Amino acid sequence: MTQPSDAGTFRLYDSATREIRDLVTVVPGRVSIYHCGLTVQSAPHLGHIRKEVVFDVLRRWLTWSGYDVTVVANVTDIDDKILTKSAEAGVPWWAHAYRFERELHDAYAALGCLPPTYEPRATGHVPEMIELIKTLVERGHAYAAADGSGDVYFDVQSWPAYGSLSGQRIADMEPAEDADPRGKRDPRDFALWKGHKGGEPTTASWFTPWGWGRPGWHLECSAMAGKYLGDEFDIHGGGIDLRFPHHENELAQSTAAGQRFARYWMHNAWVTAAGEKMSKSLGNGALVSEVTSRYPARAVRFYLLGPHYRSAIEFSDESLTEASAALARIDGFLERASALVTGPSGEADLPEAFVAAMNDDLSTPAAVAVLYTTIRAGNAAVDAGDAGRVAEPLAQVLGMLTVLGLAADDPIWRRSAAPDRLTPVVDGLVSTVLEQRTAARARRDFAAADGIRDTLTALGVSVEDTPQGPRWALVPPSATPDHHRQQSLPAPQHKQG
C-alpha cells in the first residue's frame, strides 16, 4: 500500500476557528485524541454510537497514515440523571451505571469500533478534579457558594475568552432553564462541584475542602483529559450538541487553570428522527442492540460512516436497507474476484482519490465513491475473465474496507458476532437446491430451473450464474429482487457543512 510518508497532509475542520486546518501535532508523528464518552444512564442508541464510529474511522485513517495514535474516551458514571434513573429503578447508582457501561462496550464491539487506548471513569478521578478546582480558586476564576451548600462555581465573568468556542458573547448568554441558582454570583456561572443534597445516596459523595459532594459534569472531562494527555493535546471532540455548554466550559476551566488544552476541536452532527435530534428524552432513539438485531452490524456501521461526519443523518429503515444491499454487493464482488484470482491478492496502493478524500476532513462520501468506482472496474474485469486486471482492484477494495473498518475478515467482527448454528444448515440446503437447478438446466428443463430460482428469490436469496458455477447470497427482505452484482452501486451522500 501507499507508504504513510506519501499520504499527504491530513486537514481537519476545527470547530474553534471554523476553518479547515492542516493537522500539526504537539509531538511529531503522534496524535492524541480525547472524545467525550457516554453518560451511562441508559442503553446507547445510534445517535450516541455515530460519534464512536466517526472517531474510530479517524483513528484508523491516522494510524494508516503513519501516526502513533492515542485515544482517551471517558465514561461519565456519576451525574444527576444517573442518580435519578437509578432511584426510579430501585438499584444503587453505581450498579445502574455499570450495567449501561457494559452495554456501551457491547455497542462498541457490535459496530466494529476499536476500544479506546484508555477509558477512564469519572468516579476514579476525583482527586484530580479537586486539585483543578483548587487551582481555579487560587487564580480567581472559581468561588465557593456563600450559602454554605458546598457548591463551587466557575466565574465566567473572570474569563473574557468564555464563549469563543461556540461563538457567543457572555453578555448575550442566558442561564439554562434547569440551572440551580443557589449561591451563584452570576446566573451564568457553572458548577465545578455540587454539594451533597439531602436524599442523595451518601455513596455518591466525596469529601473536599468545601464539604461533601460530587463533581460537575464539565469538570470531569477537563481533569481526565489533562491527566492522560497533558496540558496540551491534539484533538478534542464529540457530538455537536456538546459544543455548548459542555466543551465551552471545559475549554474555559482548563485554559483558566493555565493549560493550553486542545489544538483542534472536532464535532460530528446528529442522527435525526423525523428531523429531530435522536435522544433519550424525546423517546426517538434507535437502540444499537435493536437495530443490529434487524440489520447486519457491518451495514449499520456503513450507514453511519457513509455521510460526511458534519452532516446530519436521518434515521430510517429504508436507509439501513440500502446500506445492507450495498454492502452485500460489495461482498459479492469480493467473492467473485477472489474466486478468479488464485492465491493471495497481495497489496496495492490505495487509490489516490481515496487518500485525497480521507485527508480532506475525513470526507467519507468521496472515499466511498472511489470504493464504488473501483468495484465497477473490478466487476468489468471479472466479467471479462481477466484475472490479471482483477488483482489490483481486489487488493484496493480490501485496503479501503480495512481503513473504513468494514473488512469482513477483521477479527473484531468475529468477536462481536454471536455463534450462528443455522449458517451451515442454510448453506447446505441452498447448495442442494442449486444442484437440483443445475441438473434441471442440464436436461433442458428450464421451467423447473426458473421455478427454483424464483422460489429462492422470493425467500431473499439471490442467485448468479458464473463460469465457475452458481453463486448465491442473502439480500435484505425489502430490497429489489434479483440484485445482480454488476448493477450500479448507490450514489454516495455528498459532504455538507
Pick 7 or 132 by higher pLDDT: 132
Q: 341 and 209: one domain?
A: no
Whether the Cβ atoms of residue 460 and residue 476 lie closer than 8 Å to each other: yes
Q: Per the structure block, which three cell numbers stand in for 223?
A: 481533569
Which helix H or strand E contains 233, and what residues bound it? strand 232-239
Pairing of strands 206-208, 68-73: unpaired
Q: 179 and 45: one domain?
A: yes
Q: 237 and 339: one domain?
A: no
Q: 113 and 167: one domain?
A: yes
* Domain count along the chain: 2
DSSP 169-205: -GGG----TT---TT-SSTT-EEEEEE--TTS-GGG-
Which helix H or strand E contains 387, and what residues bound it? helix 387-404
The residues pairing with 142 across neighbouring beta strands, listed in sequence order, are 154
Pick 200 or 487 by higher pLDDT: 200
Kindly report the backbone phi and psi dihedral angles of residue 80, in degrees, each rounded to the nearest multiple of 5, phi listed first: -55, -45
- Is position 479 within any domain? no
CA distance readout (Å), 122 to 108, 203, 218, 356, 477? 19, 14, 11, 38, 44
Residue 467 is predicted with a pLDDT of 59
Whether the Cβ atoms of residue 325 and residue 268 lie closer than 8 Å to each other: no
- Is position 481 within any domain? no
Summarised one tens digit per residue, pLDDT across range 175-231 is 666 556 678 999 999 999 999 988 899 999 999 999 999 999 899 999 999 999 999
Q: Per the structure block, which three cell numbers stand in for 4?
A: 504513510
> CB-based contacts of 444: which residues, under 8 Å, 6+ apart?
none
Above 80 in pLDDT, residue 357?
A: yes
CATH at residue 377: 1.10.730
CATH at residue 59: 3.40.50.620
Q: 131 and 174: one domain?
A: yes
Q: What is the 8-class DSSP label of residue 39? A: B
Q: 456 and 378: one domain?
A: yes
Pairing of strands 232-239, 30-35: parallel
Above 80 in pLDDT, residue 346?
A: no
Q: 52 and 131: one domain?
A: yes
Q: 243 and 302: one domain?
A: no
- What's the mean pLDDT in 399-424? 74
Pick 491 or 471 by higher pLDDT: 471
- Is position 369 within any domain? yes
Alpha-carbon span 255 to 232, nearest angstrom: 10
Query: Cis bond leading into 187, ω under 30°?
Result: no
Q: What is the 8-class DSSP label of residue 156? A: G
Above 60 in pLDDT, residue 365?
A: yes
- Is position 276 within any domain? no
- Is position 489 within any domain? no
- Is position 331 within any domain? yes
CA distance readout (Å), 105 to 239, 297, 385, 409, 414? 18, 15, 44, 21, 15
Q: Which of 497, 464, 496, 459 is nearest to 479 (CA)?
A: 459
Which helix H or strand E contains 288, and what residues bound it? helix 288-294
Q: 66 and 207: one domain?
A: yes
Whether the Cβ atoms of residue 400 and residue 367 lie closer than 8 Å to each other: yes
Average pLDDT of the chain is 86
Residue 277 is predicted with a pLDDT of 65
Whether the Cβ atoms of residue 141 and residue 155 lie closer than 8 Å to each other: yes
DSSP 97-142: HHHHHHHHHHHHHHTTPPPPSB--BGGG-HHHHHHHHHHHHHTTSE
CA distance readout (Å), 326 to 276, 320, 350, 483, 487? 27, 10, 21, 10, 10
Residue 497 is predicted with a pLDDT of 31
Pick 390 or 417 by higher pLDDT: 390
Q: 310 and 264: one domain?
A: no
CA distance readout (Å), 307 to 23, 341, 386, 419, 475? 22, 32, 34, 31, 23
**Lowest pLDDT segment from 43-57, 278-292, 416-430:** 416-430
CA distance readout (Å), 364 to 18, 156, 351, 361, 414? 20, 38, 14, 9, 25
Q: 148 and 78: one domain?
A: yes
| Torsion angle of C-alpha atoms 208, 211, 213, 215, degrees rounded to 10 | -40
Q: 330 and 206: one domain?
A: no
Residue 363 is predicted with a pLDDT of 98
Summarised one tens digit per residue, pLDDT across range 75-113 is 999 999 999 999 999 999 999 999 999 998 998 899 999
- Is position 495 within any domain? no
Q: What angle do CA 159, 160, 162 make, to 5 degrees?
A: 75
Domain that holds residue 229: 10-268
- Is position 291 within any domain? no
Alpha-carbon span 338 to 313, nearest angstrom: 34
Q: Per the structure block, which three cell numbers stand in for 439?
A: 441438473
Q: What angle do CA 225, 36, 123 make, to 5 degrees?
A: 65
Q: Per the structure block, which three cell numbers stand in for 111?
A: 459496530
Cβ neighbours around 199 below 10 Å, total = 7
Confidence tier at 153 by pLDDT (50, 70, 90): very high
Summarised one tens digit per residue, pLDDT across range 298-310 is 999 999 999 999 9
Above 60 in pLDDT, residue 284?
A: no
